[in-house]
Amino acid sequence: MQIYSNNLIHIKIHESEVPWLKIFTTIKRKEFSECTKDEKSAIWNALDIIEKVMLEYYKPEKINIASFGNMLPHVHWHIMARFKQDSYFPEPMWGVKQREATLKLPDFEGFVDILQKSFTQQE
């Protein structure tokens, strides 16, 4: 599900037990170095907004930000709120599961609402 877009980037939800979003370039680019200055600026701005809202809203142990494109060769960034009690912590979400977890987190829709308002105020 997409929660935000403009002419440079779009942001989607990644279904997971932890809050996890992905930022994509609107124009398919294989490598970050192929992005324009404006695209790079839009990505960094979105990363900054998402991280700050995640920290304030969820109060996680850590925010993980990663850029992988082996399976999907389209520039995109993953932003995840991590908790000591999540199923994979301290491993990456792609790592070995450490435990069965049931996190009790604030409402995801409230988080998305705050994000959408933050992006709208930036425009």
Q: To 10 degrees, what angle do helices 108-122 and 37-58 make? A: 140
Residue 50's region, left for phi above 0, alpha for psi from -120 to 50, else beta, is: alpha
Mean pLDDT within 69-83: 88
| Total-model pTM | 0.94
pLDDT at res. 86: 97
Q: pLDDT for 9-68, tens place per residue?
A: 999 999 999 999 999 999 999 999 999 999 999 999 999 999 999 999 999 999 999 997
- Structure-block tokens of residue 32: 């970050």
Calpha distance 9→5 (Å, rounded): 6
pLDDT at res. 122: 82
pLDDT at res. 16: 95
Instruction: Write down the mean pLDDT value for the chain.
Output: 95
Of the chain, the percentage scoring pLDDT greater than 90 comes to 90
Calpha distance 62→81 (Å, rounded): 6
Calpha distance 16→33 (Å, rounded): 29
Q: How confident is the model at residue 81 (pLDDT cuts 50, 70, 90)?
A: very high
Sorted by where each starts, the structural domains of the chain and their CATH numbers stand as: 2-107 (3.30.428.10)
